[in-house]
Every structure is written in structure tokens, then in C-alpha cells.
Amino acid sequence: MAYDFDLFVIGGGSGGVRLARISAGHGARVAVAEERFWGGTCVNVGCVPKKIMVNAAEYSMWAEDAAAFGWNIENHGHDWAKLAAARDTEVTRLSAIYGKLLVGAGVTSFEARAIFLDAHTLDVGGQRVTAERIVVATGGHITRMEIPGAELALVSDDLFTLKAMPRRVAVVGGGYIGLEFACLLRGLGAEVDLFYRAELPLRGFDGDLQTAVVEAMKAQGIGMNSGVIPTRISQMEDHLMLSLSNNAMREVDAVFSCTGRAANSSGLGLEQAGVVTGKAGEITVDAEHATNVPHIYAIGDVTDRLNLTPMATAVGHALADTLFGNNPRHASYENVPTAVFTSPPIGTVGLSEEDAALRGPVDIYLTRFTPMRHAMSKREGRRSMMKLVVDQQTQRILGAHMLGEDAAEIMQGIGIAVAIGATKQDFDRTIGIHPTAAEEFVTLRTRTRVAGLQEAAE
């Protein structure tokens, strides 16, 4: 059968666009459909605009700390509208680049929803299109709280359309989005309380990181409310009333619901193609990212494996090389560096102490210190934490974790070392760059503790 395209990609986010461009570069006839905005969540209502606002929030602290270094800076307050306009201009520019990249690569673009009619046929904005191979790269969507008044809560997307910053804010959720929003809103001047179900936020992260970030957020005046969840949101005359599971009530101007995301798979007609999904709607794939229908694939957040933009991009590139580049390969899901842009930020790669200990004995190297900037500023809550998790037998670095300024930038380089299997001795013989915080990673000489002995014995 002759198909209209060799490859059709549903979703114009980072993963889908990379897959389409590289495939077209290998000579394939490629089309992409995107119904909302080019660049996906990350560029438009995620990583990029959020990081811009994180950057904006940092200036408040820097302006205050400048006096310790001899500067006399007057803070006349923050202009939310000016920030929003600059942010939106940059987002528009980046989003447009994605469309231009596809045109330059010779990819056919559809600004429409694509729905399966059968395993090789799609309805794309009312047009019938066929493809030999189809890849679903539709990302995820926000999930909302299931409580009375949930419709009164804002979600993460709403941060980027607010005309003014709310003065009193409740943020619900202990994941990275909730923590990042709490920190950036606090940095911009809001009164912020964070509510989360567990004892510590950032489930799945290293335990020392979890504890350290709570301390840091408390020090900047964020209310950290563990084991507490909302039960109702009520509209009052000029504010909201938040009812809580501990029978307390809180008056706020806004509630941000940051309680999670789910695979964006509904309404695609997957059942018409025979594609199987999991209990939460995620598309189930094998090691090749193929679904149960061999010529239909899925990548990125819609698979709910490791929901990071660079991971989706890497997988998209590898799949393009595999399908059309005569270079079968995989993008590894192990040792993927990532960051949480709290204040201060988190950088992490590899296994947490808790996960590593389940595999056998590990040596833990841990340091807490005040970076030079804040030895001068005397600002509380800015202590850095650095940690290495080392396999006791092989001395390989299994995990590296940091809370502190520039953690994300530092962890990118550490991520290379962990990915290639560097040992503690490799770190030890590396000369540190002085004076920096980063040099601590190569000057950790005294083992803090051993973990995992009991697990290994069992």
C-alpha cells in the first residue's frame, strides 16, 4: 500500500519535533500535527516561562544581599506586568522557532488535532491522512483535585496568564512543580503556604535532599505543612477560604493546585488503532518504544516513564535514527541528570541513598556548608548540601545530589562522570576549581556513613 507519509508524528512538543526533523533529515517523508502550540508544555507553559520567573524571583534576594558587598540598592518593588510581557515575548519567539525548524527540515505541519481512524489512517483536522509509521508524542495534562470547590483553584498553566500576583497564596502538592511555584511566588513577594500529603516533599528523591529543601524553604518564610491536604475551597467576598484535613481553615487570595499530571492520551482514537493503554491512560511501550501495534510508537510524557523534556528529545532522536537512519540505538533511562528550581535549586543524578542501599552496601559522603556569598551576606537558609553515593565494592559513583546555588549547572558535568561509570577515586584525583562550591564534589574525603549492609545480608 502507498502511504501519504513514511512517518506521522502526533504532537509538536520537543520530543515530537526532534523525531520529525531527524527522520526527515534521513530522507523520510514526515508530517507532524499539533493542535495547541509548537514546542509543547515545556516551551509554552512549563520549563521556559517558569525558569524566567525563577530568575526574576532571585533578584529580590540579590538586591537585599548586595549591601553586604558595599552596594546601596533601593528596591522599589516588582512590576509583574513588565515581567509577564518580557516572558511572553521570549516564549512566543521560542515557540515560533519550532515551527520554522520543521519547515526547514521539509516536514509537513498540520495545526490540528489528529485522531486515529484505524492503525494506519488519521483524521487530521477533517483531512484523511495515511502513514506507514505513526508516533504518539502528545505529552501530559494537568490533573485537578477532587474536592468541593476545586474549580476555584488555579493550575500551573494559570501562573502565566495572571494579570497580577496574588498576595496570599496556598500551593497544594509536594512535587517539584509545587515546590518551584512556592519558591518563585515567595521570591516575588507573596505570602506562601505549601500543603502536601507526605511527611516530606519530593517523593522518590534522596532523603537528605528532601530534608534540606524543607529547611531552606522554611528559612525563606514559606509555610511547610506536611500531612495536610485541602478538603474544600470556598469563595468568599474578596478571597478564598481553604478548608484543611487537620480541621484548620486558611484565608487566601489564590490556591495553586500542583497535584500531578497524567498522560494526554484520551480522545486520540487509540482504540480504533488497537493501541493498549495502562490504568492511568499511559501508552504502554516496549524497549523500542513500540506499542502493542508494531508500527505505532509512543515517546515522552504520554508513556509516563521519565517525564523530562530532554529525555523525550533524546528518545525521539534515537527512534529517528533507528527507524530511518540505519543506526539502531536507544536513549538510556539510567543516570539521567535533573534539577528542581527551588530556592536554592536542586541538582541530582543517579540513585538516591535509599534506592542504592537496596542493592548492597554503599558508602555515603555528605557535606553541608555555607557558600562564600552567604558567609558575607549572613542570609539564613542558604547552606549547600552535597552528597555522593558510592558502591562499596566497585567504588563507582551511583548517585550525586546537591542542594545549593548553581546546583543544576554543576550537576550537568557531574552527570557525565556518573554516566560513564566514574569511581570515587576518579573524583578524588580531579583537581578542584577554587574557590567554588563545585570543588566540594572532588574534595570529599571522609566517609559519612555506610548504608545498605542489612539489605545486602538479606
**Residues carrying an active site annotation:** 434
Strand partners, 389: 364, 399
Candidates 225, 215, 219; CA nearest to 193 is 225
